[in-house]
Amino acid sequence: MSKKVFITGGGGYVGCYLTDYLISFGYSVTVYDLFIYGENVFKSKDKLNCVKGDIRDQELLTQSIAGHDIVIHLACISNDPSFELNPTLGKSINLDAFEPLVRISKNAGIKRFVYASSSSVYGIKEIKNVHENIELEPITDYSKFKAQCEKILMNFKNENFICTVIRPATVCGYSKRQRLDVIVNILSNIGYHNKEISVFGGEQLRPNIHIKDMVRAYKCLIESNIDLVNGEIFNAGWENKSVNEIAHIVKNELGGNIKLKITATNDNRSYHISSEKIKKKLNFQTQFTINDAVKDLKNAFDKNLLADPINNPNYFNIKKMQQINLK
């Protein structure tokens, strides 16, 4: 009998890709999501159950989680601008709803719980090797709540409730629920359609991970020996590239006569992480690059898979949040 996975936020950018990916390996998946970006985001129909619900609805969560083996918690108000649009809403979803979800999961007999935190919990670090054990210095409430949820989760772990945290880099690449408000995707979209890429500063480092590697990482976590992942935290990223390097990759992969405009800035904050732990402990290695992500996006643009990618609010979280006015 296949294992049953419950994915909160499974209709999102990473979530819908992860759902199809796990189903392709024989998992049965329940997606719990508000589907504010639409419901037609899955290739798979078999072994897929969709529940339209709010992560704050404890009664519906209790009903829906029962009978599953694994919870992967992705649901949140994602990225700082969207969070800051309504901090009260952001707190209610990203922090206040978390402990009830964990408690409901544990009481339902869930065996594994994977929490999608963020590499932004580290804040700005000058040291080269930003590993999982260094002090967290989150700057924004979004990041602070991610860090708090990590601590909450670890209070519930035991030998029967395996708890794991992953701190992903910024995800890039094509998905049926596309985001065009993250750096590689932003530059690819603007470069393809406007034939010009603008970069402010350029030497700032940004960690990225291809969406195909991101879903591979989640599968790795839920399949690894419990002794290797229980109570553990893992960074997940590819190389830490400067914004300038990313811009040149995008320019070269898109081809054609694309202008690259670099403007000086006083904001040269760099974010970078080390992903050596997940590589050494779980033997997980990335297989895809920023180049691959740009190629996938170019293919999507070429084939008109994304409707009005410059203006469509579905591809920009903050525009969509402003449009729907979620309470």
Q: Give the tens place of pLDDT for each residue, 53-66.
A: 999 999 999 999 99
Question: For the residues 241-256, what does the mean pLDDT come to?
Answer: 94
- pLDDT score, position 10: 98
- pLDDT score, position 2: 66
Q: What are the tokens at 141?
A: 């409430």
- pLDDT score, position 266: 76
Q: How far apart are CA 285 and CA 279, in angstroms?
A: 6
pTM (2 d.p.): 0.97
Residue among 79, 70, 56, 67 nearest 115 (CA): 70
Measured in degrees and rounded to the nearest 5, phi and psi for residue 173 equal 115, 180
CB 38 within 8 A of CB 62: no
pLDDT at 159 over 80: yes
- pLDDT score, position 49: 97
Measured in degrees and rounded to the nearest 5, phi and psi for residue 47 equal 60, 25
Q: Specify the CATH number for the domain of residue 169.
A: 3.40.50.720
Looking at residue 158, the DSSP 8-state letter turns out to be B
Question: For the residues 193-207, what does the mean pLDDT come to?
Answer: 91
Q: What are the tokens at 10?
A: 């499974």
List, in order, residues 6 or more apart from 78 with CB less than 8 Å away. 12, 317
Question: For the residues 252-281, what does the mean pLDDT come to?
Answer: 90
Chain segment 79-101, per-residue pLDDT in tens? 778 888 899 999 999 999 999 99
Q: Would you call 159 exposed, middle or buried from its count of C-beta atoms within 10 A (0-12, 13-18, 19+)?
A: exposed
Using only C-alpha atoms, the chain has a radius of gyration, in whole angstroms, of 19
Question: For the residues 167-180, what does the mean pLDDT come to?
Answer: 97
Question: For the residues 160-184, what does the mean pLDDT come to?
Answer: 97
Percent of all residues in the chain with a pLDDT value above 70, rounded to a whole number:
99
Angle, helix 183-194 to helix 243-254, in steps of 10 degrees: 40
Place of tokens 């009998």: 1
Chain segment 4-48, per-residue pLDDT in tens? 999 999 999 999 999 999 999 999 999 999 999 999 999 978 899
Output the average pLDDT for the chain. 95
Residue among 311, 128, 119 nearest 217 (CA): 119
Q: What are the tokens at 106?
A: 């544990």
Domain count, the chain: 1
DSSP 67-113: T-SEEEE--S--SHHHHHHSHHHHHIIIIITHHHHHHHHHHTT-SEE
Residue among 39, 41, 35, 2 nearest 18 (CA): 41
Q: How far apart are CA 61 and CA 56, in angstroms?
A: 8
End-to-end CA distance of the chain: 39
Place of tokens 């719980």: 113
Q: What are the tokens at 117?
A: 């935190």
Q: Kindly report the CA angle at 118 between 283 and 193, in degrees rounded to 5?
A: 100
CB 318 within 8 A of CB 183: no
pLDDT at 231 over 60: yes
CB 167 within 8 A of CB 235: yes
CB 314 within 8 A of CB 320: yes
- pLDDT score, position 83: 83
- pLDDT score, position 82: 85
Task: Give, in order, the Cα–Cα distances in Å from 321 to each of 44, 74, 260.
Answer: 27, 17, 31
What is the span of the domain harbouring residue 176? 4-324
